[in-house]
Amino acid sequence: KRLDSHSSGSGGGGGGGFAVAIDQSGSVWGVFRQNGNFSISKSNPSGVFVSSTALPNVREDGHIRIVFDGLGSAYVVGSAASSNSTGNDLAVYKVSTDTVVLLASATYSNNTYNLNEIPFAASTDTAGNIWIAGIIQTGGTVDFNGNVTLASALWKVDMSPFPGVLSQPTTIYHGAG
């Protein structure tokens, strides 16, 4: 298969691409939805499909990013359903860049408000920490029906204590919106 809209995400019940990134080897990674289920796929630098794996509980909010660390892992950052909260939680999925296997996943909820955490951008630093910028819903209804209040947020998922292990993120900034 080649990486295109016919083989990786469209047709047969609807779907589409939500994120794309190129790793250090030139391989192309994409997050796609097919029939309501999300997966991450890898294609070689020529666009030939290599493998894919499912991403459980991803929410279709359109704010999904793919980032890479220097240790051979890809990370998908987005929003996911969680049994711990009422809204969308910040979610991080760790995937092996060699085998395209889901290695770990975690959801993070702001326990103060327990509403929605929505990422907009993500990156890794030279230590492999994941930095995520987004918003936290601080008031209103979970479904955004009516007036809501939001706050800016910057999260750091610190990988230094245990490289490659997902840890609870630290909210660096939480300002009124």
Q: Per residue in 126-162, pLDDT tens?
A: 888 899 999 888 888 877 788 888 888 888 888 765 6
- For the cut 50, the answer to whether the pLDDT of residue 7 exceeds it is no
- Strand 149-157 versus strand 28-34 pairing type: unpaired
Kindly report, residue by residue over 59-89, the tens digit of the pLDDT: 876 589 999 987 778 999 998 877 666 778 8
Q: What average pLDDT does the chain have? A: 80
Could you tell me which residues are beta bridge partners of residue 105? 93
Residue 162: predicted pLDDT: 61
- Per-residue confidence (pLDDT) for residue 43, from 0 to 100: 96
Q: What percent of the chain has pLDDT over 70?
A: 77
> Per the structure block, which two tokens stand in for 44?
């070689």
Q: Confidence class of residue 112 from pLDDT cuts 50, 70 and 90?
A: confident
Could you tell me which residues come within 8 angstroms of residue 30 by beta carbon, excluding any fewer than 6 positions away? 3, 8, 9, 17, 19, 20, 21, 40, 41, 43, 66
Dist. CA 95–CA 78, nearest whole Å:
14
